[in-house]
Structure 1
């Protein structure tokens, strides 16, 4: 019996051994039958994979039974599925074709499950490795500026904000950025840091962009869009990759530039055995930032008679009436856009009294001399950025992959909110653990950051005041102006004698006293002057999971469900967010859960219809929770795909929008909570909307009416949006691709930072002497805000490798204004403001709406990645319409002019070294423009790079 058992066991072992020795061999080539190295060949449903060698050949063993399927993947080529049978497993011939931009992409971001881009129920854009290689942009993140409907706001060379569908913001908090599944935002400050702490360029596999409402599956802050950046899996993308890039910018500036920069990146990934793989990444960029050097006289509603008005119609605004005078020697009120300390509404101006000895200066407002941004920073615009990551991956039985990763970002940058703020050494660590199978994922990660910054404008004002008080400076100005009769320049020069000189030890020491001292502390040697430094060392802890029940339901319907929990552990030391009464920091808990169901139905052989419904509930512990449903349908008839959706979204107030309070005596942001109002002294010294103050000083309302309109903190809640959208997408014979959409969005409880004036001495009479501070108070307004827009993108294959592509997007924001009591507001001519453009002067005259988005923009690109077997090239022309822009406390209100940019690149492949050499540039004609008021002005950026991909596989 034992012998029979042994024989049976040996027979079974022999069978297993025989199956394990099946050797599959073959070769991978391109369309011209040239060998392709580095292709990943995987046996579907197993952990077995290998890569092709330099001669294109491969060989792998398996114990799987024939027939089976091989999945073949190589960056820049169309994925191939190859059947292996008993008659071909010894010589499998695999031919890969190069991808074109017209391929049928698979996207995940729309429904959290893989689906063809063509049949996605809502608008989605996807950029992959091929698009990154062919783009004229400097980095994968920068390539987003070529996507239809995307508005970039460039604050620093390394810090750019993505905006879509209106309400452009320098730090867009209504737009969710996920990097390898992790929220990209700064936990305390609340804004996404873009690519300052993203993943290395060499490790980016794809970027998916979903415009508009996405809260139904992604929760808070996915209100105006969703950006999902995915990295490269080390099981698929292996070997050593390296990139070296050098370039220059800041051409054509007097006494500055051109300046160079360098960017080096390295990635190494390796699979060890069948189950384990790891990867490491590092990238460093150093150079000179784009410079904020607009010294024109600031356009702001704080100016007297800022709007052109029609007296015959009650003073209704018809346009901008203020004429800038850019010469400080002839302008009493010169206030340079990127000159600080000379601001007319934040401590840089003096109002001569009505009884002043020199009648020519009576009731005259005079600004003192400011410092430029470069002078205050003292770093000559130098910028750096480091990014690094390490991850290990392990394949468990059942096609489950476990991974653990560490991600690091470090750099300096300038951020624009109400003021310009300089972050000299931002640092962020993220650690993520994830378990992912075919039908589920579990993810936990933490964000730990060290973020300290100082306010450039407030620091410049403090330097001026440290040297000489505003009153003393004004007295000296007035004395010289009397003696020299009308000479503004000489008066300024005399009053400025002995002023701290930028770059000197004395200037630097004074600046550092303020910049290195927190806003909660007094500077060294003072009992009255506080610092200008803020701190955000806050942390975020996030846990989430999802399960796909489709297989359990025997494919009767596609059903997924998931949930998440998040905790913000604030650590600002009271510099951004006030401490609790006991001196401790706030924590904020958020949780949410969602479910989605979809079913594809066939209508004969003609069409398919796929309806989808989703529902999510979210709650922030300080804000009432709510549901965000979504319903969509896509109808596919041959290559034609018609989509429609109704969606809802919401946005939780960020920590700063809840609790922020300004430093003593200074203007700044104020949160919407009652705690923030108390910290700003708004209960004892009320603030008034800037437009109401102007109406009062112009005699249009009485003092009693003004007092009745004082800011009064009420219930502060989430802002909400409902939107419906229709679209059409087609790909015809792999030559013509068209994607078009139209959307209509309506906001309620919109959170915006409105300009309020708080009298210095608590007296209404202070307004007549310009004695007030400007506060940006976060409020839920009761206005009816609607955004309508449409866009179309198209690509056409011209043959011989040439592709002509382009896109156009249009959007308009309208508003029906209401006062605090809910009554519709009339313009100064007495006509109700109902459904009018927010850029119209008679609307803006009544207060800021901060739509800050161009109505029109387009891109046109001609490209050919295969001019020869080695050369490729692309050429892009971009145009963005003028836009009405309302920015912060110290920037202003202005029509930003339209701008254009011509971008190009030429690439050369070196197959022997698996390398690509690229020569390119953006804004080739070096026509400087700014994407927001007070931001850095962007000129030509020229570069050459060499990239080695997946060596040593």
Structure 2
């Protein structure tokens, strides 16, 4: 009996072995280089090609059957297997851009050409061809995308206008996790993002995206996806170095290194870790031109010719007093005061270059554990941690040195075939970050208290017979001199002391918790593809009173949102309808509905020529800054967030010229304030303002995408779009002046006490975050074309037109801050395999001049032409790619914004192994 059983087992085992089919082969790219990490699969099994492109696949299927070969960014190839032990060689060709699969537009996979809205994409192949020093820098070459280049590591991405460096209207996600700094409510470039080695693809949705992504997806959304260690394992690394050239300093070397380690332990468990570090000189801000003050513009004059000088990148000279007011406070006779010039005198400031070390750096680390309980991608659990620490300069209302900052994230996510559920925490620690304007003010006070300085100035002015130069030299005696031990000691004390205690330090540890989920009913409901989802976020504001009105207690608030979407195809799948709606509610504001409707129609059966039209709305809840700011921006000036509860939290003691103090509250800025411009013009007009509320946009868009066959092996890709946006309750700054004493007459004019306060300079200037009544519209056109010439040369050209329509009569004191050139042209030309293993690429960008408006400084940004280029060499024997390149090769330096460092040229060489 036992012998029969053993015989039966042997026969069955032999049958199984006999039924097993083995396939071997090699995968190549279109330049006949071995292709690693390609997926070779049947209906039952799959393997991944090795570093040399080879693979071995064993399957229970018996010939004939079909094998698919897939890779991100490449066309899927199908090979017919006719016999056991077949050996196949497969050449993968790069996918055309409009055929790439994206997920951000609908939270569901679809071809770019079939996306219901405008979308831009960068894949692995694009990153290899990139001429910029990093993939993130290369995003600026995409159609309709702009980059504000603060420094090597901090670039702020935007689309369709209305942003500065602190872009709270644009959302950035890494694997679905928002990368915004909690205290700032915007993403500081790729500081908390991905290593270039770990990027699978990047998608950008220009324009309103609130219907699926909620608050703040107002100007657009950037979605970066990382490589899963189940699909991309092994060790890869890069080394970049070169030098940064700028007129403001000597040529400086930079260093940038990264390593990615990933391992698939089994079909159930995989893990990865990424480490990157760079050290690079920042763009030096050395502009000493005179300005009309914080938030003003550059004007004529310098320190020698203007007693009220306030330099662009000079700090401490914001402290200004009228010479006659000094004499009045000193008790001089009226007859003597009358002989003095009616001139304002500012203290002597310190240049930014004497306050900061422009050595920018960033260390970034992330690690994740991936678990698939059933050994398939139908269900996966991800645990992820991410850390970022470094130094850089950031320009907001003032210039800030972000020194030893730390950002950390922790995520857990459950991903199924048709759903995801994720939760994460993000926290920041400002370290030794500080406000450079207040460094200058505090250095002056450490040298000599302002009351003493102005008194000595007045005495010397009178004694010298009215010589301002002598007066300033006399008052500046014993001034702290940059580079001396006393100066350095004072500088360090000021950096470490909080703003609330007379220093310049920011002591922020703001954080938030976030959860979101999505479910797709496509396997349960056949009528159409229906998705539902939602999100919840809780903010914990904790700046110890240095940024927000939280000196005495932390601030907590939360928000939530829910959404649903339906996609349905008609007319033999040539007509696609997409409809979605989202509802969001934040603690301090009424709820908002964000609907979206989009229709795609294919002009041909192959879906290669598609017209689209969409209507969508977006909204933006005011940021933490706009709600709870209580930031001192100058000696007697503040920026105030205007959530209703913040008006009671804001209380400051203003010092008057006679030494007395007055208590100013946030309510005063609403009940007895005057427009700043009217006070300066000598005819005070009461400021009519209201607490802040969400801003909204209604967007109409049409587009056409087409894949046109020019020949058997060449195509032309066209992508054309046009949009029109209408804004309501646009969030903007409004500058008001509050007399330190006095009130209003029944007619809304300053009473006698308030008039005296304004005349003597006893007032507090407050910049309010509020909503404008202005009628604001914007519109634009984007045109992109890509093709090949001479068989293997890639050519791309795109043009973006952007225009704002603003009725200034509806709000004369409103500055919209469109901050976008009317015309942008971008051109790409290259060949990834010009000669064997040698490729090159060239990118050039031109933009017209435009007006930049911000709370720091306004001014015209000149037109510019930027040329970037790279040459690369592949060395398959050591799995390496070498690249030599440069950015801004014309050497024409330019300002990104008034007050920022002037951007020069960067030259680099990189070595990437196993990319």
Fold similarity call, TM over 0.5: yes
Contact 2:734 2:813 in 1 (8 A): no
Separation in 2, partners of 1:232, 1:780: 42
Q: Alpha-carbon deviation of 1:870?
A: 2.0
Q: Per-residue CA shift, 1:368-397, capped at 9, x if unaligned?
A: 2111112122x2x11111111112223333
Task: Confirm whether residue 552 of structure 1 aligns to residue 516 of structure 2.
Answer: no
* Match in the other structure for 1:265: 258
1:331 aligns with 2:306: yes
Note if 1:677 corresponds to 2:647. yes
Corresponding residue for residue 587 of structure 1: 556
Task: Kindly indicate whether the alpha-carbon contact (under 8 Å) linking 1:154 and 1:936 is maintained by their aligned counterparts in 2.
Answer: no
Contact 1:49 1:274 in 2 (8 A): no
Quote the residue 2:801 is aligned against: 810
Give how far 1:754 is off: 2.1
Q: Which moved more, 1:204-213 or 1:502-511?
A: 502-511
**Following the alignment from structure 2 to structure 1, what is the Cα–Cα distance between the partners of residues 668 and 415?**
56
Q: After superposition, what is the alpha-carbon deviation per residue over 1:152-188, rounded to whole angstroms, capped at 9, x for unaligned?
A: 2222321121122121221111111001210011123
| Aligned counterpart, 2:510 | 538
Cα gap change, 1:103 to 1:90, in 2 (>3 Å): farther
Alpha carbons of structure 1 residues 31 and 123: separation in structure 2 relative to 1, 3 Å: closer
Equivalent position of 1:43 in the other structure: 41
Distance (whole Å) between structure 2 residues aligned to residue 47 and residue 515 of structure 1:
61
State the Cα deviation string for residues 48-93 of structure 1 (Å, max 9, x = none). 4232353x43213234566655443457x624333454x1452242
Secondary structure in structure 2 of the residue aligned to 1:738: strand
Quote the offset at 1:670 in angstroms.
Answer: 1.0
Q: Is the CA contact (8 Å cut-off) linking 1:184 and 1:198 kept in structure 2? A: yes
Whether the 8 Å CA contact 1:690–1:847 is kept in 2: the answer is no
Relative distance call for 1:853 and 1:27 in structure 2 (3 A) is: closer
Residue 470 and residue 727 in structure 1: after superposition, are their counterparts in 2 closer, same or farther (change >3 A)? same
Give, in angstroms, the shift of residue 197 of structure 1.
1.6
Corresponding residue for residue 371 of structure 2: 394
For residue 647 of structure 1, what is the aligned residue in structure 2?
A: 616
Conservation of the 8 A alpha-carbon contact between 1:917 and 1:947: yes
CA contact (8 A) 1:409 1:428 kept: yes
Q: Quick check: 1:292 aligned with 2:261?
A: no
Q: Which moved more, 1:358-367 or 1:644-653?
A: 358-367
Counterpart secondary structure, 1:396: coil
Mapped pair 1:724 → 2:700: yes
What is the deviation of 1:770? 4.3
How far 1:121 sits from its partner (Å)?
1.0
Q: 1:426-464 CA deviation, whole Å, 9 max, x = no partner?
A: 112212222223322222222132224211101211211
- The root-mean-square deviation of aligned C-alpha atoms, in Å, is 2.9
Residue 787 of structure 1: which of 752, 774, 778 is its match? 778
Match of 2:545 in 1: 574
| Unpaired runs of at least 5, structure 1 | 307-321, 523-529, 818-832, 835-842
User: Within 2, Cα distance between the matches of 1:866 and 1:462?
Assistant: 58
Q: More displaced, 643-652 or 912-921?
A: 912-921
Paired residue for 2:658? none
- Corresponding position: 1:912 with 2:882: no
Q: Helix, strand or coil: the match of 1:631?
A: strand
Q: Structure 1 residue 418 and structure 2 residue 403: aligned?
A: no
Counterpart-to-counterpart distance in 1, 2:887 and 2:763: 44
Report if aligned partners of 2:246, 2:893 keep a CA contact under 8 Å in 1. Answer: no
- 1:879 & 1:688 partners in 2: Cα distance? 48
- Distance in 2, matches of 1:576 and 1:45, equals 58
Give the secondary-structure state (helix, strand or coil) at the position aligned to 1:297. coil
SS of 1:131's equivalent in the other structure is: helix
* Alignment counterpart, residue 848 of structure 2, candidates 878, 881, 887: 881
Aligned counterpart for 1:161 among listed residues 145, 156, 160:
156
User: 1:307-361, CA deviations, whole angstroms, 9 ceiling, x for partnerless residues?
Assistant: xxxxxxxxxxxxxxx8422x31222222211111112xxx245443495848775
Distance change (3 Å), C-alpha of 1:454 and 1:538: same
* 2:481 corresponding residue in structure 1: 501
2:660 is aligned to none
Following superposition of structure 1 onto structure 2, how do residues 27-426 of structure 1 map, counting pairs within 5 Å? 27-31=26-30, 34=32, 36-43=34-41, 48-52=46-50, 54=52, 56-63=53-60, 70-74=67-71, 78-85=74-81, 87-99=82-94, 102=97, 104-253=99-248, 256-298=249-291, 323-325=299-301, 327-343=302-318, 347-353=319-325, 357=336, 361-377=340-356, 379=357, 381-397=358-374, 399-426=378-405
SS in 1 for 2:829: strand
User: Which residue matches 1:827?
Assistant: none
Call closer, same or farther: CA 1:9–1:627 in 2, change over 3 Å: farther
- Is the Cα–Cα contact under 8 Å of residues 611 and 705 in structure 2 kept in the other structure? yes
Secondary structure at the residue paired with 1:927?
coil
Q: Supply the distance in 2 between the matched residues of 1:684 and 1:728 (Cα, whole angstroms).
A: 51
- Greater Cα offset, 359-368 or 928-937: 359-368
Change in 2 beyond 3 A, CA 1:511/1:613 = same
| 8 Å CA contact 1:689, 1:756 repeated in 2 | no
After superposition, the C-alpha distances for 1:616-664 in whole angstroms (9 at most, x for unaligned) are: 1111122211211100011111332111100011111222222222359
- Indicate the larger mover: 654-663 or 588-597: 654-663
Q: TM-score, length-normalised on structure 2? A: 0.89
The 1:424–1:23 alpha-carbon spacing in structure 2 relative to 1, beyond 3 Å, is same
Instruction: Tell me the secondary structure at the aligned position of residue 599 of structure 1.
Output: strand
CA change 1:183–1:369 in 2 (3 A) is: same
* 2:625 aligned counterpart, secondary structure: helix
Between the aligned partners of 2:767 and 2:18, the Cα distance in structure 1 is 75
- Is 1:469 the counterpart of 2:449 in the alignment? yes
Q: Number of residue pairs matched? A: 873
CA distance change for structure 1 residues 47 and 387 in 2, over 3 Å: closer, same or farther?
A: farther
